[in-house]
Chains A and B, each alone.
Chain A
Amino acid sequence: MLELDNISKTYRIGTFGGKELHAVSNVSFDVRDGEVVSLIGESGSGKSTIGKMILRLLSVNSGSIRFDGVDISSFKGQELKEYYRKVQGVFQDPFSSYNPIFKADRIFDILHEEFFPHLKGRDWQAKLNGSLSCVGLNPEHVLNKYPHQLSGGQLQRFLIARALLLETNFLVADEIISMLDASTRIDVLNLLAECKKEGLAVLFITHDLSLGYYISERAVILYRGCVVEMGITEKIYNHPLHPYTQMLMSSVPRLDKHWEAIEGENELNRKQTDVTSGCSYYSRCPQAVEGECNVKRPILVEIEPGHSVACLLVRPSSSTPVQKVAS
């Protein structure tokens, strides 16, 4: 359904825009119909940039994004409107997505005027109520209220309801539950899973690995704008092959296991060197081999069916996790 083909994004930074920051470099993956793909990475890994490029909020520097086979950068005017009918986004902070001066359901009125001008009052109301009850809200309790009168979970579900009012079949969900409380976040997550059954495809952007595991079929791990590992969720979580993924997995606070004292990578003993060529993870990698990892840039290689890794130390022949290389 949605294909990302070798896309890159470079931001100009510095006082006069003289420096460049490669936020996303050569990322390719696809999202199929009715599939949830989670995009996982630390802050600054470029995950939100990818989400914004899919929503056409940012332009792509090179490469292309294709939706049902058509390059989205070619859309203009009516075509773009049709694109937004199908592709919608929901963002992290539900509180700042609303104008506090107006009632929260104003977001639906805008939608009504723009996309459904032919629907008359009662039909529209019925459609709206249907969408609201679909996200588990009681229309009587939530309509005609100001944003401060609703909880974060309700506001976030409002936004999802708005996205689903259109004939959405692709949703970019950018950290949609990180602002919510533990007791309500699982409801929003279950809601996404319900919608998935109806054929909705979701790009689930998150930094929380346990949430990614709960809901997604496939996962893409990003580090500094590069895909380091991607594939079927179970394979990545149970046998992480890239050193970065291994580090992420061992740092996730879990309820069933205490942190083990892992050697090597840690925020505290990071090498302060910055490399321009070679593997982007070189400066933090405990297993990096000098003279190889800082020279050659690894490419994504399929190690086993449905599991690809970009690391020079992981080779297709050995499907066992990387052994620690003596330094």
Chain B
Amino acid sequence: MSLNIENLTVYYQTLRGDVQALENASFIVADGEIMGLAGESGCGKTTLSNSLIMLTPPMKWIAGTVMLDGKNLPIADESGMGEYRYKKISIIPQYAMNALNPTRKIGRMTGELLHSRSIDYHSRLPELKRRIEMVKLPADVLDRYPIELSGGMKQRMVMVLSTLLDPSLLIADEVTSALDVSSQKAVSELLVEFRNQKIVKSIIVITHDISILYQIADSILVMYAGQLCEKASTGSIINYPRHPYTKLLISSLPKVGVKYNEHRLEGIPGSPPLLLHPPEGCRFRDRCPVAFEKCTEVPPFIEVEPDHCVACWKES
């Protein structure tokens, strides 16, 4: 059992009150699992991933525990996490393309990064070169400045850096969103390759693009407005979704082969609630076509089938 999150609740502190960005999240990511995390912007995907790495104000830990490989992660303790960050749990941040220091050659920057973790650059160099070869970057990339690389190349370089210390869990936050379709495919397939070569044990892939997840993820967790909606294997989420939000979301995605005049797709009317004072109960209630009185209570996130968890009163 690689990652086990229980009842994790994280709020943002603002002058007008707490923004309830992540509410009672409980789920497990198994060893060797690539879990996709999908949802609209503002649903708490990035809050969830950032709280696992670096929980700094205005983020505030409210409740819940995180276990990684059987050990408790002190996520609320910023300095205590130093031991785990990068070594056990690592992140490829959103806009990773801008994460490289433009004033340093990539090799020197990597050296500084390793030095900050008290690791000798030269002892790691052969492995670094092997990894660079694995992602098919030219060998002289360490002597170049970031500006000399294309977006896809920078993204791959950051992937190598993030995984250099063989973390147990890798979080990939929107790694493909800014790339072209051909680079998108190359980068996504590399993520799978990192898992297959056992460089990282498990991966959480955060994206709003469900069709990418269908290609690479083993399971998908769908979030809405800070609450978990549904988690199941990729095939079940795409083909047999059970939560009304997942159903509407999947059916609104245009596919190659669907034309407007033959088959008109429908969006989801309405917009997500503000999380400053979110409505009681299920937060999808206002946009849900099957909502009823009971939805004013928060539905539990329970297993309705083996490995298929849903938070909806209609399903439990």
A binds B: yes
Instruction: Say yes or no for A105: interface residue by CB 8 A criterion.
Output: no
Residues of A within 8 A of B210 (CB): 182, 255
Residues of A within 8 A of B260 (CB): 189-190, 193, 214-215
Instruction: Say yes or no for B211: interface residue by CB 8 A criterion.
Output: yes
A213:B215 contact, CB within 8 angstroms: no
Instruction: Say yes or no for A269: interface residue by CB 8 A criterion.
Output: yes
CA distance A255 to B41 in the complex (A): 21
Residues of B within 8 A of A258 (CB): 214-215
Distance to closest chain B CB from A173 (angstroms): 14
A186:B266 contact, CB within 8 angstroms: yes
A182:B180 contact, CB within 8 angstroms: no
Instruction: Say yes or no for B310: interface residue by CB 8 A criterion.
Output: no
A182-B253 in contact given A213-B258, A253-B214, A258-B215 (Cβ < 8 Å): yes
A256:B255 contact, CB within 8 angstroms: yes
A237-B40 in contact given A207-B181, A209-B181, A247-B182 (Cβ < 8 Å): no
Residue ID in chain B nearest A214 by CB atoms: B254
CA distance A252 to B183 in the complex (A): 11
CB interface residues, A 156-186, toward B, < 8 Å: 181-186
A213-B182 in contact given A183-B40, A255-B211, A255-B214 (Cβ < 8 Å): no
CB interface residues, A 180-234, toward B, < 8 Å: 181-187, 189-190, 193, 207, 209-211, 213-215, 233
CA distance A317 to B306 in the complex (A): 56
CA distance A152 to B211 in the complex (A): 22
Residue total for A at the interface (Cβ-Cβ under 8 A): 42
CA distance A258 to B215 in the complex (A): 6
What 0/1 pattern do residues 46 to 84 of B give for CB contact below 8 A with A? 000000000000000000000000000000000000000
Residue ID in chain A nearest B185 by CB atoms: A251
Distance to closest chain B CB from A31 (angstroms): 17
CA distance A233 to B238 in the complex (A): 26
A253:B185 contact, CB within 8 angstroms: yes
CA distance A187 to B260 in the complex (A): 12
A181-B256 in contact given A42-B181, A151-B271, A190-B265 (Cβ < 8 Å): no
CA distance A252 to B211 in the complex (A): 9
Q: Number of contact residues on B: which range applies?
A: 35 or more
CA distance A82 to B211 in the complex (A): 43
Q: In terms of DSSP, what is the predominant structure of the interface of chain A?
A: helix
A186:B181 contact, CB within 8 angstroms: no
Distance to closest chain A CB from B66 (angstroms): 28
B208:A182 contact, CB within 8 angstroms: yes
Among A183, A193, A247, contact of B249 (Cβ-Cβ < 8 Å): A183
What 0/1 pattern do residues 242 to 286 of A give for CB contact below 8 A with B? 000001110111111011000001111100100000000000000
Residues of B within 8 A of A233 (CB): 259
Residues of B within 8 A of A189 (CB): 254, 260, 265
CA distance A42 to B185 in the complex (A): 13
CA distance A265 to B183 in the complex (A): 11
CA distance A249 to B238 in the complex (A): 21
What 0/1 pattern do residues 10 to 41 of B give for CB contact below 8 A with A? 00000000000000000000000000000011
Distance to closest chain A CB from B239 (angstroms): 9
5 cross-chain pairs, A with B, having the tightest CB-CB distances, nearest first: A253-B211, A187-B267, A183-B268, A268-B136, A42-B180
Q: What is B's interface to A at a CB cutoff of 8 Å?
A: 40-41, 135-136, 138, 151-152, 180-186, 188-189, 208-212, 214-215, 238, 248-250, 252-261, 264-268, 271
For the complex with contacts A207-B181, A213-B254, 19 further pairs of A-B residues with Cβ separation under 8 Å are A152-B41, A153-B271, A154-B271, A182-B40, A182-B249, A183-B249, A185-B267, A190-B260, A190-B266, A214-B254, A237-B256, A248-B181, A251-B181, A252-B256, A254-B211, A254-B256, A256-B257, A259-B215, A266-B182
Q: What is A's interface to B at a CB cutoff of 8 Å?
A: 42-43, 151-154, 181-187, 189-190, 193, 207, 209-211, 213-215, 233, 237, 247-249, 251-256, 258-259, 265-269, 272
Can you name 27 A-B pairs with beta carbons within 8 Å?
A: A42-B180, A182-B40, A182-B253, A183-B248, A183-B252, A183-B267, A186-B266, A189-B265, A190-B267, A193-B260, A193-B261, A207-B180, A209-B256, A213-B257, A214-B259, A214-B260, A237-B256, A248-B181, A251-B181, A251-B185, A254-B214, A255-B253, A267-B185, A267-B186, A268-B135, A269-B136, A272-B138
